[in-house]
A and B are shown apart, each in its own frame.
Chain A
Amino acid sequence: MHNDNPDLLDDLLAEWQPQVETPPDFRREVWRRIAAETINPGLIERFSWWLLQPKREIVVMTAAVFLAVVWGITHPPQALNPHDAYLTSISPFDSNHLSLGMP
């Protein structure tokens, strides 16, 4: 809000120069206090920051997809036993027989 009657104290404050000697390690002490207040990140957070770099993300994703493909190749779907397949196809009492003729 704009004040039409400026406070006289404003001018005095503007002119005021504090005559205080700062100790020589003042800045260092300020940073030490800031550092002391900062919460130390946990292991997960540190790992997250390490991992979540674009290049590392791509490498991890590619590795996961590659491993999945390798696992799929080395563990193919169980092939139907040919003897059982023949039995299913000719025996009307086989538990899977009815599904064969259905569209």
Chain B
Amino acid sequence: MTPVRRIIGFTLLTALLASVALWITRESLRPRDSPRELGLSWLKEEYNLDSATFESVSALHRDYFKHCDKMCSQINEADRPLLRRARQRGRPAGEHDAQLSRDQAICDDCEKAAADHLRHVARLMPQEEGKRFLNDFLPILDQQRREHDRRLSSSLRR
């Protein structure tokens, strides 16, 4: 083997070893908390919840997450707009509208469930913190819903 070939092989092997070492290091440092756990810990700190309140808030979230998972699987089982468009090209417009209405109904349920949940959580918090909590999250929820509807209707129009 020529020295140039050997040094290319050596460089590749060294790069491979370094990449594996880098990947293992970064993976071992990756936070293990799920977004739900991380979010709940943040909620406790941000809204100054005592242990008892935090327990009640956590229990409320656990119930909400269960309900939420069920609704999410409903959404996943429903036809997604892009897939629907591909499958149903040439179908009558009335069917599109019916599907859109069904999607909107699911989204309405999800939005109502989320808003109700936020209000329940706020009621468990000290009054001022509860107000601040609702002021922080209800407008974002509303804005995200509007963006979601805009995306949905534009993907159907295309």
**A-side interface residues toward B, CB under 8 Å?**
44-45, 47-49, 51-52, 57, 60-61, 64-65, 67-69, 71-73, 75-77, 79-80, 82-83, 85-94, 96-98, 100-102
A76/B39 in contact, CB under 8 A: no
Q: Which residue in A51, A72, A86, A93 is a CB contact (below 8 Å) of B144?
A: A93
A71/B14 in contact, CB under 8 A: no
Binds A, one of B17-25, B48-56, B82-90, B94-102: B17-25
A44/B4 in contact, CB under 8 A: yes
In the assembled complex, B131 has its CB within 8 A of some CB on chain A? no
Q: Which residue in B10, B38, B65, B140 is a CB contact (below 8 Å) of A85?
A: B38
Question: From B27, which residue of chain A is reached at the shortest CB distance?
Answer: A77
A92 in contact with B42 given A65-B17, A71-B22, A76-B26 (CB within 8 Å)? no
Complex Cα distance, B18 from A58, in Å, reads 13
**B-side interface residues toward A, CB under 8 Å?**
3-4, 6-7, 10, 13-15, 17-19, 21-26, 29-31, 34-36, 38-43, 46, 61, 64-65, 68-69, 71-73, 75-76, 107, 110-111, 113-114, 117-118, 137, 140-141, 144-145, 147-148
A72/B21 in contact, CB under 8 A: yes
Residues of A within 8 A of B18 (CB): 64-65, 67-68
